[in-house]
Copies of this chain bind each other. A is one copy, B any other.
């Protein structure tokens, strides 16, 4: 069917219905699959190393695209063919039923989960790690991943009761980093900290309540070391039982009159500060 561009799949086709169910978290968890939309994300999914990251299976399982999208992005059609990934032609209407944005850009891929175990993400050779503790907003979780990737982190752990990393909004906010950066999910914060420490990493909690500001932490040499940075929920920061686990609690100094920084911008400032010192 997928090689017959003249016969788009109907809204009731088994594959379309199965894919549509992946917009629900429970189905994603059960099937260990999720949806990635837009040409950039689908390109990353199709070209993620097969057999390597994550578990020996190609990341992209199947692609749904409009005829127009196929014409605009022949590289995607080729990449799908090269990796043996089925390319299903669908109408704009059917595509819209799979996508979660107003402008889905004509293409959605069903992908296998890409997360790894905590032991694979936090290792004795890790130098810079980001840990989100109870991050509830999908946009924040995704942007945190994008920032961690940009700052050269070795991985991200979405720990505690963090939002589903495979939520459509989270996937979009990663801007493709979901397909690059080693990710562990659903791990207790406590286990993450233990594993980081056992791997020889310093543990720094980023929190507005910190008695050490980031500039002072730098002067004290804390940013020169291998580190796992803990970032909390935007609304309530890091709880005391988490900050207690850290070697130090560091705040990004608020130099003006803003009440706070949002999660991703605070994380970017901390991760880049460590990255700069580690070089």
Where the two chains meet, the residues of A that have a C-beta atom closer than 8 Å to any C-beta of B are: 40, 143, 146-153, 175-177, 180-181, 215, 218, 252, 254-262, 264-266, 268-269, 272, 275-276, 279
Contacts and interface: CB of A to CB of B under 8 A. Distances in A.
7 contacts: A143-B265, A149-B258, A150-B256, A151-B256, A177-B257, A266-B268, A269-B269
Given A215-B279, A279-B215, A149 B256 contact: yes
Highest count of chain B CB atoms <10 Å: which of A40, A150, A269? A150
Contacts of A146: 258, 261-262, 265
Contact of A261 (B147, B255, B260, B261): B147
Copies in the complex: 2
A210 to B, nearest CB: 15
B180 A256 contact: yes
B153 A256 contact: yes
Contact of A258 (B180, B257, B259): B180
A180 B260 CA distance: 13
A265 B259 CA distance: 17
Nearest to A181: B256
Contacts of A259: 40, 175-176
Contacts of A149: 256-258
Given A146-B265, A150-B261, A175-B259, 10 more contacts: A146-B258, A149-B256, A149-B258, A150-B258, A150-B265, A153-B256, A175-B262, A180-B256, A215-B276, A262-B264
A255 B268 contact: no
B258 A177 contact: yes
Nearest to A175: B259
A175 B257 contact: no
Contacts of A255: 150-152, 275
A179 B152 CA distance: 35
A272 B40 CA distance: 30
A48 B177 CA distance: 41
Contacts of A152: 255-256
